[in-house]
Amino acid sequence: MPLLEIRNLTKVFPLGASMFGARAKGEVRAVDDISLDIHAGETLGLVGESGSGKSTLGRLALRLIEPSSGSLRFEDQDLVAASHREMRHLRRDMQIIFQDPFGSLDPRMNVEDIISEPLVIHEALSLTARRTRVSELLRAVGLDPSVLPRFPHEFSGGQRQRIGIARALALRPKFIVADEPVSALDVSVGAQIVNLLAHLQREFGLTYLFISHSMPVVRYLATRIAVMYRGTIVEVGDTQQITEQPQHPYTRSLLAATPEIAV
Ligand SMILES: Nc1ncnc2c1ncn2[C@@H]1O[C@H](COP(=O)(O)OP(=O)(O)O)[C@@H](O)[C@H]1O
Ligand SMILES: [Mg+2]
């Protein structure tokens, strides 16, 4: 049984809908009838050009947005039918890491508050226990606990991404959607973050949906790769199979467009 089972998932956005209630001029099928399994312990790489629907699929997979149709099962629970209360419980197991480590951290909160927030919401811990957990999380992502009182603007992009990762790990999730987590970073800093994600996966037994527009980044981390094009998955397979024997012309073009080594 897969950890996450995606069946016939579709998300339609209205196109050019007017503020004044005029009828929408058509629609975008951002995710168009996608079926996909994500297995416990794997890194499924999701690759495709900008606008192909990767972020929409990632958000749907966590039910951060509602599908237009289709089904989602997480550990055999129906995610689409889950009540608000059930979702609140499920949220602990499913987290997201964003591309922009600037925009995704509240600039008015210090590191301790940022990482503590999910713990405050979901776990009744004493202040001491919470601080211990936050310090452990910081160490796990390669930051010193002395940074607890500091604010996001005091950190580099790579450090900020580490803070975002610590926050995502706070509730010990099983499944993480990483949506272009290194795309805003310099190549060498991005490589460190990718290595950190690989290390954390082994340490915490995580399952990743790792989203990137870059085939070299995806192939470095992914055990399997799904290639997305205009709202559909055109090809999915083991990383070696996809990179050495791509079947779909679009996959070949993605491989041809990218240098051999970027991380
Ligand atoms: N909230 C939204 N409202 C309307 N259209 C959207 C919305 N989010 C995404 N889209 C459209 O859906 C398509 C896929 O977008 P997205 O999932 O962000 O692609 P990617 O992450 O691969 O760049 C694009 O055409 C985008 O403009
Ligand atoms: Mg995106």
The pLDDT of residue 222 is above 80:
yes
pLDDT mean over 249-262: 79
Identify the residue with better confidence: 76 or 65. Answer: 65
Q: Which residue has the tokens 């990767």?
A: 54
What pLDDT is stored for residue 67 in this prediction? 98
Residues 262 and 235 in one domain: yes
* Ligand 1 neighbour 16 (Cβ under 6 A): no
* Domain hosting residue 87, numbered range: 1-93+173-263
Q: Give the list of residues 6+ apart from residue 37 with CB closer than 8 angstroms, or none.
A: 2, 4, 5, 6
**CATH number of the domain that residue 187 is part of:** 3.40.50.300
What is the number of residues in the chain?
Answer: 263
Count the domains in the chain: 2
Nearest CA, atom 12, ligand 1: 30
What pLDDT is stored for residue 99 in this prediction? 87
**Residue that terminates a domain, selected from 145, 170, 195:** 170
Q: What is the phi/psi pair of residue 114, to 5°?
A: -60, -50
Specify whether the CB–CB gap between 8 and 73 falls below 8 A. no
* Ligand 1 neighbour 102 (Cβ under 6 A): no
Residues 6 and 135 in one domain: no
Nearest CA, atom 11, ligand 1: 30
pLDDT mean over 173-193: 94
What pLDDT is stored for residue 13 in this prediction? 94
Percent of the chain whose pLDDT exceeds 70: 94
50 alpha carbon – ligand 1 mean position (Å): 9
pLDDT mean over 129-142: 97
129 alpha carbon – ligand 2 mean position (Å): 36
Domain membership of residue 99 (yes or no) is no
Mutate to test the pocket of ligand 1, among 10, 27, 28, 68 (most ligand atoms within 8 A of CB): 28
What pLDDT is stored for residue 26 in this prediction? 86
Query: What's the whole-model pTM score?
Result: 0.93
If you average pLDDT over every residue of the chain, what do you get?
Answer: 93
